Structure 1
Amino acid sequence: MDDIKLYAKSERDIDSLIHTTRLYSNDIGMSFGLEKCSRMVTKRGKVVRTEGIELPEGNIADIEDSYKYLGIPQANGNHEEAARKAATTKYLQRVRQVLRSQLNGKNKIRAINTYALPVIRYPAGVIGWPKEEIEATDIKTRKLLTMHGGFHPKSSTLRLYAKRKEGGRGLVSVSTTVQDETRNIHEYITKMAPTDSVLSEYLRQQKPKKEEEGEEPSWKDRLLHGMYHRQIAEVADIQKSYQWLDKAGLKDSTEALIMAAQEQALSTRSIEAGVYHTKQDPRCRLCKDAPETIQHITAGCKMLAGKAYMERHNKVAGIVYRNICAEYGLEVPRSKWETPPRVVENDRAKILWDFQIQTDKMVVANQPDIVVVDKQKKTAVVIDVAVPNDSNIRKKEHEKLEKYQGLREELERMWRVKVTVVPVVIGALGAVTPKLGEWLQQIPGTTSEISVQKSAVLGTAKILCRTLKLPGLW
């Protein structure tokens, strides 16, 4: 420890302590940094000016106004307000610096937690921090996020501070930081008080704090913000449905847009008419047939089905197709925008893309997205992709299996191979069924859940931006 603070009852005693400290420092090979040393003498609460103290190395002058000890301003008075102001200013400066960077959404939040918040964490618990200032700083943080497109103004603030694995953004609030540090210091003082008279006296003088009753509210319980979570709770694998937040590496603006859509925070015509009680026609601006809800825009509008939904569908199917081609050594499409050829083949396998298969017996569903025939193993895999509303993923998965049973039987009879039907179903806002991983493992090559989930989410973000014509950032 090289930062030492000495206390004494008189000017003579403090000078003696300084000389003693200097002798010990010299014995262990340390010396005073005189430019950082200072002395303050007070009598009856008022600072007395002196000429300082002369040492062989030089003079230790009196404190002019205040000094910093371990980074916190101190003097003969209360400088907590100055310390709070300096810490808050530095914190917000670092938040702006992070938000202007090119980091993805997850890493921006992580940078705020590990680069900006320590500025608040360091003095927290040592100096008093009024609740109003803490809340104001959290509000300023959210405003900065909104200004940089990283948080929708009507999104759930509770979800912003929830863990990513639980469907949140993972931001740590200033309020939580101050509370944690204050509690940790208090626990330490309580533990050490029996062996330290100063800490014991401090505890004796402290007023007992009222314990907060009840658990913290959850965004999942909110009427609008939690609607999506309640809808997918029974049909989806919740943990995997939110894994795109942790693994996809999306921009913060894309994360904010998808989460705002899940929380019904985007201003669709149905929301404007039903929630904000405007005179807006609640019907869809494109098809005019159904209420314009997020679910309708992302997977239910007939005007978007021909191009927008098909483009999103083909992006997801394209990921599966490219992985299959790589597995069998076939030519992989050069870009994700390139439409794959109807048939590619080598001595190991044949792959059909959106190919209408002729069968002896009439089959209604004979044009799956992808068919893979392994010539060596004498097997075939029929793959069909769907991106429905998130609450319908389990139902759609079952429909795909039933739909191609007739084709499966015909192919087994005609081609004399073992045929497997594999549905790849991803919710428009990222929900996945518990069996998605098992289905993907039955497809040749290596296709991860997060890759197809990310593709579906990005496709939905594009549809929302185009349809709602969001002004500026929102």
Structure 2
Amino acid sequence: MQFGVDKCKILSIKKGKLVHNSYYALNNGETIEPMNEISTYKYLGFNKSRQIQQKQTKIDLTTKFKHRLNLILKSELNSRNIVKAINTFAIPVLTYSFGIINWSQTDLQKLQRTIHTKHTKFRKHHPKSCIQRLTLPRQEGGRGLIDIHNLHNKQITTLRQYFHTKSEHSALHRHASEKDTKLTPLNLHDRQPQTNEKLTDPKQKIATWAGKSLHGRHRYHLCQT
């Protein structure tokens, strides 16, 4: 049995700086070559070197998300099952990164807009139909799609609450919270509510929908039944 030394790399960091030419010698005489500044390794699904490659990871996740979205919309599923498939097969690709990758609110809006445009492209949603309906529950007359913006912000809130609760009894969590000064999207050092924790109230979406002269008629008829 042979050990795949050719597949191994070593990364040496001293005081935050990459140490070059740091070869590691094995007992059998073989050496493990060091990583260069461009090389990355994958840990828990994210490409890293000295830190997570935020930009590249966003591109990879977005590409995978769009690919799964296309697969679902190309299928012959009915409307209800398409929404269920998107919620359970496509969106979880992004969910795993929330709280780790620094998604801006603009990024989240683009991802949500991608769902809207793909629906229109594959004739699953009329281009002039009400957008607010897509992310409203079916009980309210909506389509039942997950709101990516709200999902992200909810997860940020949940993770922050978890760390802050654990830090009262765990030295490890307390130390991590003290050191995280905007190092992650959680910003655990600041106990005040963050801008990436704000949620869009479904009642606000319903009010916007009902206030439209044409699309609001459907909401009006739903309320009458």
- In which range does the TM-score fall when normalised by the shorter chain? 0.7 to 0.9
Native 8 Å contact 1:113 1:171 kept in 2: yes
Q: How does 1:303-322 map to 2 (within 5 A)?
A: none
| Structure 2 residue aligned with 1:201 | 175
Write the distance in 1 (CA, Å) between the matches of 2:152 and 2:96: 9
CA deviation profile, 1:106-160 (whole Å, cap 9, x unmatched): 1111111111111101111112111111111111221111000011122222210
CA pair 100-34 structure 1, distance change in 2 beyond 3 A = farther
Amino acid at match of 2:86: I
Amino acid at match of 1:83: T
- Which of 71, 87, 101 pairs up with 1:127? 101
Structure 2: 5+ residue stretches without partners? 182-188
Query: What SS does the aligned partner of 1:113 have?
Result: helix
1:40 aligns with 2:29: no
| Structure 1 residue aligned with 2:210 | 221
Native 8 Å contact 1:120 1:177 kept in 2: no
Deviation at 1:63? 3.0
- Which of 60, 63, 76 pairs up with 1:89? 63
Write the distance in 2 (CA, Å) between the matches of 1:197 and 1:37: 34
Structure 1: 5+ residue stretches without partners? 1-31, 237-474
Q: How does 1:168-187 map to 2 (within 5 A)?
A: 168-187=142-161
Amino acid at match of 2:122: H
CA deviation profile, 1:148-199 (whole Å, cap 9, x unmatched): 0011122222210111232111111322332232222222212211233342
- Which of 144, 148, 159 pairs up with 2:133? 159
CA pair 165-35 structure 1, distance change in 2 beyond 3 A = farther
CA pair 84-51 structure 1, distance change in 2 beyond 3 A = same
| Structure 2 residue aligned with 1:233 | 223
| Structure 2 residue aligned with 1:408 | none
Deviation at 1:67? 1.1
Amino acid at match of 1:218: K
Amino acid at match of 1:112: I
Query: What SS does the aligned partner of 2:18 have?
Result: strand
RMSD of aligned Cα (Å): 2.6
| Structure 2 residue aligned with 1:117 | 91
Native 8 Å contact 1:164 1:170 kept in 2: yes
1:62 aligns with 2:34: yes
CA pair 172-191 structure 1, distance change in 2 beyond 3 A = same
Amino acid at match of 1:155: S
Write the distance in 1 (CA, Å) between the matches of 2:198 and 2:43: 33
Q: How does 1:200-349 map to 2 (within 5 A)?
A: 200-204=174-178, 205=181, 206-207=189-190, 208=192, 209-210=194-195, 212=198, 215-216=201-202, 217-219=204-206, 220-224=209-213, 225-234=215-224, 236=225
CA pair 115-215 structure 1, distance change in 2 beyond 3 A = closer
Amino acid at match of 1:179: N
Query: What SS does the aligned partner of 1:194 have?
Result: coil
Percent identity between the aligned chains?
Answer: 26
Amino acid at match of 2:139: K
Write the distance in 2 (CA, Å) between the matches of 1:118 and 1:36: 30
Q: Structure 2 length as normaliser, TM-score?
A: 0.78
Query: What SS does the aligned partner of 1:68 have?
Result: strand
Write the distance in 1 (CA, Å) between the matches of 2:145 and 2:112: 11
CA deviation profile, 1:37-87 (whole Å, cap 9, x unmatched): 54311234331232234266x755433411111001111145111111111
Native 8 Å contact 2:154 2:199 kept in 1: no
Write the distance in 2 (CA, Å) between the matches of 1:72 and 1:99: 27
- Which of 160, 166, 180 pairs up with 1:192? 166
- Which of 42, 46, 51 pairs up with 1:72? 46
Amino acid at match of 2:205: S
| Structure 2 residue aligned with 1:368 | none
Query: What SS does the aligned partner of 2:66 have?
Result: helix
CA deviation profile, 1:333-357 (whole Å, cap 9, x unmatched): xxxxxxxxxxxxxxxxxxxxxxxxx
Structure number with higher relative contact order (C-alpha < 8 Å, ≥ 6 residues apart): 2
1:141 aligns with 2:141: no
Amino acid at match of 1:158: Q
